[in-house]
């Protein structure tokens, strides 16, 4: 039996993981607390830990996990910017779920966009008060507009297909273009200056952190709509707020936020929100914020559990090979092991 400490557990996590765990002799210890330097002690006695996007997996946590005999960090997410992969090398293997339901995230991005530009959220609130006035609800057609997509991985490409279905012109930027993908790639600056709407679908790295900052916003069209369902750190939230206040940014649709770790996924309705910046963003009528829920579909939850369990089993088998391992050995974190076809350490 493989024992796994499962941090930051939510009610929607348990059914799929309990089912797949029971089928493969994996015992999950479900913990509501997030993994931090203060809670890492709870992993003692486990061979692996299962973590999510807001768990803290820094060098200090990794050293403690290694000391306790934990040999695997299994992310139940695609993103891994919260894990110090370099510190883990040679001590603890790290795996992730590279694709659980790209349709879920792409569809949520479109849902946010449609809600914003057609003022659906405002109409919903009005009609609940039996206010059926149309004043102030004028939107605009997506058809014929230019959508700029930053990042053309699986989610980005599905999002592009959906936009084309609306009759939109799509341009894209990605430092690693998809060959023969039929995508109109342009330099980032051209995308910023030419797009009516911009949607982010790229990972958070040192190179992409705050790629949407004051300078980038200054290059955009007046009234641009910005959609982010990837990682909050891609956008400088202070610069975004200033762009909204200056009427340079017409609307923002955010499923992620840079400082979300201690806020999202929790019910804080009975508390005063300490994050003044987020409070100010939410208070604006042209900002929609959802709490990192783009992934949250039945299909995605099932795929996350199935892939995570497969990752765990693969790592504890005799050869220990797992296609979804994140390895720092050669610097190509997601590709290294797939190309060498051997254990990283």
Q: Identify which has the larger pLDDT, 197 or 330.
A: 197
pLDDT for the residue numbered 319: 74
The answer to whether 254 and 289 have CB atoms below 8 angstroms apart is yes
DSSP H or E segment with residue 253: strand 249-254
Positions annotated as catalytic residues are: 231, 260, 292
Is 340 a residue whose pLDDT tops 70?
no
Topology (CATH) of 2-100+298-340: Rossmann fold (3.40.50)
Is 338 a residue whose pLDDT tops 80?
no
Q: Where are the alpha helices (DSSP H) in the chain?
A: 14-23, 59-67, 85-88, 102-117, 120-128, 154-165, 188-194, 214-219, 237-245, 276-283, 298-316, 336-340
| Strand-pair category, 325-326 with 93-95 | antiparallel
| Confidence category of residue 208, pLDDT binned at 50, 70, 90 | very high
Give the CA diameter of the chain. Answer: 67
Q: By C-alpha distance, which of 165, 216, 166 is closest to 195?
A: 216
Task: Give the number of other CB atoms < 10 A from CB of residue 101.
Answer: 22
pLDDT for the residue numbered 270: 86
Please give the structure tokens belonging to residue 117.
């530009």
Is 330 a residue whose pLDDT tops 80?
no
pLDDT digits (tens, 9 = 90+) for 91-110: 999 999 988 888 999 999 99
Is 337 a residue whose pLDDT tops 90?
no
Q: By C-alpha distance, which of 34, 39, 64, 38 is closest to 51?
A: 34
Is 342 a residue whose pLDDT tops 90?
no
CA atoms of 219 and 189, how far apart (whole Å) = 8
pLDDT for the residue numbered 262: 82
pTM: 0.88
CA atoms of 209 and 231, how far apart (whole Å) = 9
- If you ran DSSP here, which 8-state letter would residue 135 be given? T
Please give the structure tokens belonging to residue 69.
């005999």
User: Above pLDDT 90, what percent of the chain?
Assistant: 84
| Dihedral of alpha carbons 334, 336, 339, 344, sign | negative
Please give the structure tokens belonging to residue 160.
């592009």
Q: Where are the alpha helices (DSSP H) in 89-153?
A: 102-117, 120-128
CATH topology agreement for domains 2-100+298-340 and 102-289: yes
Q: By C-alpha distance, which of 58, 68, 89, 54 is closest to 4?
A: 68
Is 65 a residue whose pLDDT tops 70?
yes
CA atoms of 257 and 226, how far apart (whole Å) = 13
Domain ranges of the chain: 2-100+298-340, 102-289
The answer to whether 177 and 152 have CB atoms below 8 angstroms apart is yes
The answer to whether 285 and 122 have CB atoms below 8 angstroms apart is yes
| Dihedral of alpha carbons 94, 13, 300, 296, sign | negative
| Confidence category of residue 271, pLDDT binned at 50, 70, 90 | confident
Q: Residue holding tokens 């939410």?
A: 282
C-alpha dist (Å) from residue 44 to 3, 7, 51 = 10, 13, 15
Is 339 a residue whose pLDDT tops 70?
no
CATH number for 102-289: choose from 3.40.190.10, 3.40.50.720, 3.30.70.1150, 3.40.50.2300.
3.40.50.720
The answer to whether 308 and 76 have CB atoms below 8 angstroms apart is yes
The answer to whether 337 and 344 have CB atoms below 8 angstroms apart is yes
Is 304 a residue whose pLDDT tops 70?
yes
Please give the structure tokens belonging to residue 298.
């039945």
CA atoms of 111 and 229, how far apart (whole Å) = 11
pLDDT digits (tens, 9 = 90+) for 107-155: 999 999 999 999 999 999 999 999 999 999 999 999 999 999 999 999 9
Q: Residue holding tokens 């076809």?
A: 341
pLDDT for the residue numbered 332: 62
């Amino acid at each position: 039996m493989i024992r796994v400490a499962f941090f930051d557990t939510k009610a929607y996590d348990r059914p799929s993981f309990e089912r797949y765990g029971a089928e493969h002799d994996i015992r999950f210890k479900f913990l509501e607390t997030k993994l931090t330097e203060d809670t890492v002690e709870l992993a003692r006695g486990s061979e692996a830990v299962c973590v999510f996007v807001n768990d803290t997996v820094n060098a200090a946590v990794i050293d403690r996990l290694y000391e306790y005999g934990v040999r695997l960090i299994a992310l139940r997410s695609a993103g891994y910017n919260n894990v110090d992969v370099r510190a883990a090398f040679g001590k603890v293997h790290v795996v992730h779920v590279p694709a659980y339901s790209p349709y879920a995230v792409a569809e949520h991005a479109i849902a946010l966009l449609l809600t914003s530009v057609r003022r659906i959220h405002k109409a919903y609130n009005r009609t609940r008060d039996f206010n059926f006035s149309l004043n102030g609800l004028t939107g605009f057609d997506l058809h014929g507009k230019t959508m700029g997509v930053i990042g053309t991985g699986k989610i980005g490409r599905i999002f592009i297909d959906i936009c084309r279905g609306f009759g939109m012109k799509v341009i894209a930027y990605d430092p690693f273009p998809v060959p023969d993908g039929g995508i109109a790639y342009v330099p980032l600056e051209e995308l910023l200056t030419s797009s009516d709407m911009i949607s982010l679908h790229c990972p958070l790295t040192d190179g992409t952190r705050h790629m949407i900052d004051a300078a980038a916003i200054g290059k955009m069209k007046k009234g641009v709509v910005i959609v982010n369902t990837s990682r909050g750190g891609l956008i400088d939230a202070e610069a975004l707020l200033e762009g909204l206040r200056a009427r340079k940014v017409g609307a923002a649709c955010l499923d992620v936020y840079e400082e979300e770790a201690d806020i999202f996924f929790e019910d804080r309705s009975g508390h005063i929100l300490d994050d003044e910046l987020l409070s100010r963003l939410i208070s604006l009528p042209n900002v929609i914020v959802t709490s990192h829920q783009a992934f949250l579909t039945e299909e995605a939850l099932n795929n996350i559990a199935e892939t995570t369990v497969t990752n765990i089993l693969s790592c504890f088998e005799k050869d220990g090979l797992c296609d979804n391992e994140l390895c720092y050995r050669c610097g190509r974190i997601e590709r290294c092991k797939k190309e060498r076809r051997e254990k990283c350490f």
